[in-house]
Structure 1
Amino acid sequence: MTRKTRVSVTIDEALVAKAKAAGINLSAVAEEAIRFETRAEEMRRWAEENRAALQAKARLVEDEGLWSDGLRLF
């Protein structure tokens, strides 16, 4: 089981009321949103850190094509 920690967040009062009325688990929604945003940021940073290699690979494919180019049936 994952350890949980208590945090304090500030959320629009009306939005909290609507969410509670709808039976939405605010902690679960917040955790999933944070997980999603954290992963998106990790992917953005990875792409930034590897931009030169990705560009070099794209140039290589552009210049030489893909190894499977001769195998395509369409």
Structure 2
Amino acid sequence: MNRQAVTSSNIASIGYEADSQTLEIEFLNGGVYQYFDVPQYVHEELMNASSHGQYLAQNIKGVYRFSKV
């Protein structure tokens, strides 16, 4: 999955695969997590958010299943 680098104090890059609705987040500490069954609009809102980390905490963590890669 291709990830796009973002400017964030916590997140290095974000990727999304529409077919499987999988969101992939690479953190600055090197950890990579995949979140499952994430609608495309959530990915779009995340990418357009003024704070990627804040959007992630408020709208994705604790809502979608995830796995550390």
Shorter-chain TM-score tier: under 0.3
TM-score (norm 1): 0.24
Higher relative contact order (CA 8 A, sep 6+): 2
Greater gyration radius: 1
TM-score (norm 2): 0.25
**Greater strand proportion:** 2
